[in-house]
Amino acid sequence: MSDHLASPGWIERRLLSLPDGAVLRLVFFGVLAMGASMLAQDVLNVVGDAGDRDRLTRTEPLRLPRPQPGDQIRPYLPRAVPVAPDRGEPVLPGYDAPPAGDAMAKAMSFHLGSDGAASAVGRIDAGTAEAFRRFLDGEGRDVRRLALHSPGGSVRDAIEMATLVRERKLETEVPADGYCASACPLVLAGGVARQAGESAWVGVHQVYAVPGGQPGGVRDLDRSVAQIQATIAECQSLLVAMDVDPRLWIHAMQTPANELYVLTPAELREFRLVTTPESAPAS
């Protein structure tokens, strides 16, 4: 080991050659730049959070351009209806006028129309499937056709509703200018015959876990991932059982939960989410 001090390296020599105070100025401007960067990131986060809060809480219709082939990703509105410039209001059995503007923000309700038709309007929440069963066992016992107008919600309840629809041999439809998103297309799939009217907005996206329970770090994360994977498998199994092409769910898995992949009329037919009388599944 040498007794002599090692000669300063290149960086140290450069620093020693700087005029008095220059190092302090460099440190000051470095801290200033870092602070500005952090502030800019905070502003972007706030703006992003505000935009996401608006998307999640908005109950007023949002005007969006109509999806076209190759341009089908739109924001997912869990409590509102997206409208394109040339879209109107859906005609729904049991309604004399279009549903109220906040109908999508409320738990799904069931309305009996004429000639065996009924409508299901609003969010699919936990317990909606049981409410649907009570409706079919009560005033809706003679229903043969169900019109859907819903932003979706609980996948579990949507699967149960689809099973009920098939057991009761009901037809399903999304009326012209109607909205059927997220878990709602699973209910649509249950129909023994399925239709989507002109300008109907039918879309899918990723299944996601609703936060809840006690935080448990990696274990909770693993449990959530396993739960989501099991739910995806249930969705695909349902589609197969209902004679819908399970390739449909590829678009769901590729689309983030805050967005929606809106299916074109050609895709609705290709995946057999809508049917013709000749291709309707056997009842």
What distance in Å separates the CA atoms of residue 175 and residue 145, rounded to the nearest whole number? 11
Residue found under tokens 């579990």: 156
Whether 122 has a pLDDT exceeding 60, the answer reads yes
Which token pair is 78? Answer: 């869990």
| Average pLDDT value for the chain | 83
Quote the pLDDT of residue 40.
Answer: 56
Residue 91 in tokens: 């005609």
What whole-number distance in Å separates Cα of residue 131 and Cα of residue 153?
A: 15
pLDDT reported for residue 277: 55
**CA-derived radius of gyration, the chain:** 27
pLDDT at 48 over 80: no
Predicted local distance difference test score (pLDDT) of residue 198: 92
| Range with the poorest average pLDDT among 11-20, 138-147, 158-167, 256-265 | 11-20
Number of Cβ within 10 Å of residue 82's Cβ equals: 23
pLDDT of 123 higher than 70: yes
Q: Which residues partner with 124 through β-bridges?
A: 153
CB contact at 8 A, 168 and 149: no
pLDDT of residue 9: 64
pLDDT at 180: 97
Confidence of residue 283 (pLDDT cuts 50, 70, 90): very low
pLDDT surpasses 70 at 18: no
The predicted-structure confidence for 149-200, as pLDDT tens digits, reads as follows 999 999 999 999 999 999 999 999 999 999 999 999 999 999 999 999 999 9
> Against a cut of 0.75, is the pTM above it?
yes
SS3 per residue for the chain: CCCCCCCCCHHHHHHHHCCCCHHHHHHHHHHHHHHHHHHHHHHHHHHHHHHHHHHHHCCCCEECCCCECCECEEECCCCCCEECCCCCCCCCCCCCCCCCCCHHHCECEEEECCCCEEEEECEECCCHHHHHHHHHHCCCCCCCEEEEEECCECHHHHHHHHHHHHHCCCEEEECCCCEEECCHHHHHHCCCCEEECCCCEEEECCCCCCCCCCCCCHHHHHHHHHHHHHHHHHHHHHHHHCCCCCCHHHHHHHCCCCEEEECCHHHHHHCCCCCCCCCCCCC
The span from the CA of 174 to the CA of 185, in Å, is 9
